[in-house]
Amino acid sequence: MKIYEDNELLVLNKPAGTDVSKIETFIDLPRNGLIHRLDKDTSGVLLFAKNKKALSFFQKQFQERKVKKTYIALVNGIIEQNQGEIETLIGRQGIKQKVFNLLSPESKKTGPRQAKTAWKVIKRYNNHTLLEARPKTGRKHQIRVHMAHLGFPIVGDKLYSFKNQKSSLQRHFLHAKQITIKTLDGNEKTFTSELPKELKKYLENI
């Protein structure tokens, strides 16, 4: 589960099905050391700060959009373009709702925020497309909402996919493959997580 550790930073390989808010109870870290978040059913690279100074330092990079993030996603349908970029406003669908949606600029009273995602095709399968997605912002459910809006929802996504979608996966096919971030010594470090076995197996069977 551990990818990297030093005096300021702990990098974990989060499995799907794990709530990030509960991970801190199982590891020896200061309270509220979580630098960023991944959805419960999204696997991959997850960063924790080991002290308050480090937490502030790393979170600032996320806020200033200086962190490079790469995700792997399998979507329903064949995307003809080899690459693209989508930029929209994203906000909650009503008060206290878990579902997020694209909103118009006139909806600012509901708190929409700008969201931007770049993507490129890795491989096309039978009615599926494997993508590399690079979110330029860090909105909740961003990649999932953007791909659904484009008409290519992520395989296994229960919130944003087609109602009649059938999938043998017990999770959605979204994996945080890589993060590049500057450490306190001024150097950049890149942390990588391999695609989980269940996702590799799913690709082999489509």
Give me the chain's average pLDDT, please.
88
Q: How many CB atoms lie within 10 A of CB 90?
A: 21
pLDDT of residue 28: 64
What average pLDDT does this structure show over 95-109?
A: 48
| Domains of the chain and any CATH numbers | 2-204 (3.30.2350.10)
Single-letter amino acid code for the residue at 45: V
Residue 63 CB-half CA count within 13 A: 7
- 90 versus 132: the higher-pLDDT residue is 132
- How many whole angstroms separate alpha carbon 17 and alpha carbon 174? 12
Q: Is 28 considered catalytic here?
A: no
pLDDT interval class at 109 (50, 70, 90): very low
Structure tokens at 88: 């929209």
pLDDT of residue 39: 94
Gyration radius from the chain CA atoms: 17
Q: Are 10 and 28 in contact (CB under 8 A)?
A: no
- 5 versus 101: the higher-pLDDT residue is 5
pLDDT in tens, 3-13: 999 999 999 99
Res 145 pLDDT > 80: yes
- How many whole angstroms separate alpha carbon 153 and alpha carbon 164? 12
Task: Pick the catalytic residue from 6, 19, 39, 41.
Answer: 39
